Structure 1
Amino acid sequence: MIKLYLKKLIPCLLILWLAPALLQAQNNQPTREDLERRKKELQKEIDEANEALKDTKRSTRESLGQLRALRNKITLRTRLINNINEEINFINGDINTAYRDIKTLQKDLDTLKAQYAQLIVYAYKNRSTYDLINFVFSAQSFNDAVRRYQYLKQYREYRHRQATTIVQTQDLLNQKIESLRDQKEKRAGALKTEQDERKTLEDDRKEQDEVLSKLKGREKELVADINKRKKDALNVQNAIRAVIRREIEAERRRVEAEELARRKAIEAEKERRRKAEAEEAARRKAAAAAAAAAAANNNNNTAANNPPPVKETPKPPPPPPPAPEPERTPPPTRSANVLEATPEALALSESFENNRGKLPWPVTSGNIIGHFGKQHHAVVEKINVENDGIIIATSKGAAVKTIFQGEVRRVMVIPGSGYVVMIRHGQYFTNYVRLRTVTVKTGDEVRTGQMIGTAGVNDIENQGEVELQIYKGVVKQNPELWIMRR
């Protein structure tokens, strides 16, 4: 009975030891390593936000850049606190599991010790060698004596295993107690970190309220800046769409010219064949007339000399003229878009589309401060602002790089928006606005990640800026859906 109990007890102990890992895998929840990695990533982003805030604070006045940097910090720190709370919940779960395991192991250890004590008492009472020999030799047969001897041997081995199991259970219990102590220390450290982060979060919110209050006192100035930016953005949009329309018109004229040249070539081929057929008909007619004259002359000579008639071998008919080749039609395209009229342009468009959501950022480091489309202003909430692309804040003079290979179709300067570089990718156009300098020119072939210029500087907010726009034909696209997520 005791032996059967031990066989069942050891697997149970193993299950108790592995239970936390098994439950974690079944619930499909983030692991401790995931939380730790996410915590490091958030801390890194917070450090970057602090650097961005330092740059904006170098300005003599409060700016939207400071407000955006503070809001970004608050968002990131809130995520960090949530991450720490998840980690604390994880630790609490481990502590509760450790408590249950310790209680179970202590109970099992007490049971094992009690049973072992009973074995010791029984062994003590039957410690006499005479009693053991008498137990063996009192058997009724030799086979019975062998079985009794085997029983005594197994009994000794069982006592040894019982003692080993008690020692192992005691070691396992000690490990669990040590693990519980470590988990409590981790929880205490996580709670302290969470309290420190909450205090810093409150300080950030107070600073945000102060900056917001001061900015609202400059509402007229901000409204004037908003109107100026709207006007500059409209000028950029009109210029870009004008270039795209010219591209479409140029492609349409090129396609029409190619089609006209193809039709002229077909008509010229038809005229050549018609003339060849007419010449062939005239040649046949002349040959037939010559044959008739020769036949009449032969008949006169035959009547005078009465030669035996000779049959003439009929000439084979001339071969028919070659059938005209069917008109070649251009291969069907997926749409009637003239910007994809060539195989190269079509392949480039398809490649651009296949990289949707995987395109690189135009700057090495930065964050989006202006999202695509219409949204409320950060300070003057009654005014909506609309962006044709995304505005990325970066360091001053940061290198601006292409997000996909293509051809530079236009480099222009627009007052209030700096340099604008337009790159064509089949029927798609990527536009890089607010550049301070450029290193490419119209007609250049560029590759993915190639530097095309440097980011412009927003003097009011004292930071670098670049705007990325993506057009499909003349239709604006949301660049956040095309570039990689950070």
Structure 2
Amino acid sequence: MKYYVFPSLYLKSMYRSRLLTFFALSIVFALLLVQSKAWAQSTPDRTQLEQEKKENLRKIKEAQQILSETSSRKKTSLGQLSAINQQIEAREGLIKSINEELELLQGQIGEITGVIEALEEDLVGLKREYAYMVYATSKTNNSFDRLMFIFSASTFNQMFMRVKYMQQYSEARKNQVEQIQKVKQTLTNQRGTLEGKQMEQQVLLDQQLMANKDLLALKAKQRSVVRDLNQQEKELTKELAQRQEDVEELDKLIASLIRKEIEKSNKDKATDRVALNSSNEAVSVSFEQSKNNLTWPVNTGFVSQKFGRNPHPIMKNIMVPNDGVDIQTMQNAEVKAVFDGIVKAITPIPEPGDLKAVIMQHGEYFTVYSRLKEVNVKTGQQLRASDAVGMVYTDGNGVSMLQFQIWRNNQKLNPEAWLQKK
């Protein structure tokens, strides 16, 4: 009876081994497949968040440079408050990106941890099954017993099958060892990946802590500036009244120049649109197709006041109209053409400091660059996009601000809808 124990043990262990190996590896590779797919889906999000972080850091640095110029003056100004507000907005955007990146990373860490747990369970099962196979083999490890097992077969076909069984059993043991090694290696790799993700998580947590600390400091500075500006209410009211008067005069001046250009192109016919020929029609179409993609008129800066009616940053219930956008920038910043076109007018503007405005035509579209202390172009000159138009003016408070407008015939447009996103 001793010689017939082997096939029973063999068949039982072979079946269990293959079944366990199949299910164990199926679970492992299924988990790894799910993990890789999930990461593939989250990778663009992670890349996008990293890009958003980089962009917010650029905005923070840019606003800090502009703020340092306004802060060098003893007097607190609205320009200083605008730069602080821009920094706060960029810092909040940075914190938002970090928080979202942490959520993604936490999800990945949870997935890796689940895979590691599954691998550890499978490894225990594979080792247990291998031990059983070794034990089964030890029962018939005597060469004489094996020969007796083979030659005790009642038929030749049965003898052949017993030889085949023993070969397969030996191969199964080898495969079991290989599978154990593969699972061990996969487990080691996953633990290394987990450690890397945990290190990334710690870096992000440190960044989050620092960003929150900086944000609190900025908000404290913002409150201090607002208090100082509240004490200047009379002066701010006077400045606002003067600015609104200057804006109205500039608006009339620009509207008049554009109306004359419309009349000239139509040979004094009553119309509210520029007459287009084949040449300037192509320019007009090209300009329109560049919506959301026009180059910025300055290299460095941010929109400190938007198009339309805006609440005054200090005085309550006061709305400030704006026919374009105010772009706060650096001292002596070069102002550039946003698109190919012709310089149609260079005109003084009704603000103190001998300032000028340049009007360019792009088919039926017009761009206006106002508050320039220097102008580098002449009327009738053809410019390409990014060609220098002039240099921005810096006021007594250290605020360098360009007023930029876009018109389509006599209709005012929101420049932020046309400029590239920053």
TM-score w.r.t. length of structure 2: 0.91
Conserved? CA contact 2:306–2:326, under 8 Å: yes
* Equivalent in the alignment of 2:239: 225
Alignment match, 1:419:
356
Q: Quick one: structure 1 residues 77 and 191, their matched pair in 2 at CA, closer, same or farther if it must change by over 3 Å?
A: same
Q: State whether residues 410 and 422 of structure 1, in contact with CA within 8 Å, keep that contact through their aligned partners in structure 2.
A: yes
Instruction: Provide the C-alpha distance between the structure 2 equivalents of 1:102 and 1:347, rounded to a whole number of angstroms.
Output: 62
Pick the aligned partner of 2:133 from 119, 122, 125: 119
Q: Which moved more, 1:190-199 or 1:59-68?
A: 190-199
Counterpart among 406, 416, 422 of residue 341 in structure 2? 406
**1:251 CA displacement:** 2.4
Within 2, Cα distance between the matches of 1:60 and 1:183?
A: 48
CA contact (8 A) 1:24 1:31 kept: no
Q: 2:396 aligns with which of 438, 459, 472?
A: 459
Q: Which residue matches 1:474?
A: 410
**Contact 1:255–1:341 (CA<8 Å) still a contact in 2?**
no
Give a deviation string over 1:373-430, Cα, whole Å, max 9, x none.
1010111132110111111111112111111122211111123071111111222111
1:371 CA displacement? 0.8
Task: Decide which of 290, 302, 312 is 1:377's aligned counterpart.
Answer: 312
2:366 equivalent in structure 1: 429
Kindly indicate whether the alpha-carbon contact (under 8 Å) linking 2:331 and 2:394 is maintained by their aligned counterparts in 1.
Answer: yes
Per the TM alignment, residue 345 of structure 1 is displaced from its structure 2 partner at its CA by 2.5
Q: Which residue of 1 aligns with 2:143?
A: 129
Alignment-derived partner of residue 349 in structure 1: 284
Instruction: Report whether the alignment pairs 1:103 with 2:117.
Output: yes
Is the alpha carbon distance of 1:468 and 1:69 closer, same or farther for their aligned partners in structure 2, counting shifts above 3 Å?
A: same
- Report matched runs for 1:145-164 at 5 Å: 145-164=159-178
Structure 2: distance between partners of 1:189 and 1:89: 14
SS at match of 2:394: strand
Structure 1 residues 471, 34: CA separation in 2 closer, same or farther (over 3 Å shift)? Answer: closer
CA deviation vs aligned residue, 1:301-330 (integer Å, no higher than 9, x gap): xxxxxxxxxxxxxxxxxxxxxxxxxxxxxx
Quick one: structure 1 residues 249 and 178, their matched pair in 2 at CA, closer, same or farther if it must change by over 3 Å? Answer: closer
Cα distance in structure 2, aligned partners of 1:431 and 1:185: 51
2:102, 2:365 → 1: CA distance?
49
CA offsets 1:252-276 (integer angstroms, 9 cap, x no match): 32679xxxxxxxxxxxxxxxxxxxx
Unaligned runs of 5+ in 1: 257-335
Structure 1 CA distance, aligned partners of 2:371 and 2:180? 76
Q: 1:145-294 alignment to 2 at 5 Å?
A: 145-253=159-267
Q: Which residue of 2 aligns with 1:485?
A: 421
SS in 2 for 1:147: helix
Deviations 1:9-43 (A, max 9, x none): 323212222322313445x6853333223222222
Contact kept in structure 1, 2:296 and 2:419, CA below 8 Å: yes
Partner AA of 1:186 in structure 2: E
Confirm or deny that 1:444 pairs with 2:354: no
Compared CA separation, residues 199 and 411, structure 1 to 2 (3 A): same
Distance in 2 (CA, whole Å) between partners of 1:182 and 1:449 is 45
**Which residue number corresponds to residue 94 of structure 2?**
80
CA gap 1:390/1:452 in 2 versus in 1, 3 angstroms: same
Kindly provide the amino acid, as one letter, of the partner of residue 163 in structure 1: V
Normalised by the length of structure 1, the TM-score is: 0.79
**Greater CA deviation, 189-198 or 376-385?**
189-198
**3-state DSSP of counterpart to 2:316:** coil
Q: Which has the higher contact order (CA 8 A, sep 6+)?
A: 2
Q: Percent identity?
A: 32
- Aligned 8 A contact 2:356 2:370 in 1: yes
Q: What is aligned with 1:13?
A: 28
Cα 1:194–1:117 change in 2 (3 A) is: same
Q: CA deviation at 1:337?
A: 5.8
CA contact (8 A) 2:356 2:372 kept: yes
- Change in Cα spacing, 1:341 to 1:88, as seen in structure 2 (3 Å) is closer
C-alpha deviation, 1:226, in angstroms:
0.9
Shift of 1:202: 0.9
Decide whether the 8 Å contact of 2:265 with 2:275 is kept in 1: no
Note if 1:71 corresponds to 2:52.
no
> For the pair shown, which has the larger CA radius of gyration, 1 or 2?
1
Q: Which residue of 2 aligns with 1:264?
A: none
How many pairs does the alignment contain?
A: 405
Q: Which runs of 5+ in 2 are unaligned?
A: 1-14
Query: In terms of mean alpha carbon deviation, does 124-133 or 44-53 score higher?
Result: 44-53
Q: Cα gap change, 1:425/1:178 in structure 2, threshold over 3 Å: closer, same or farther?
A: closer
Structure 1 counterpart of 2:38? 23
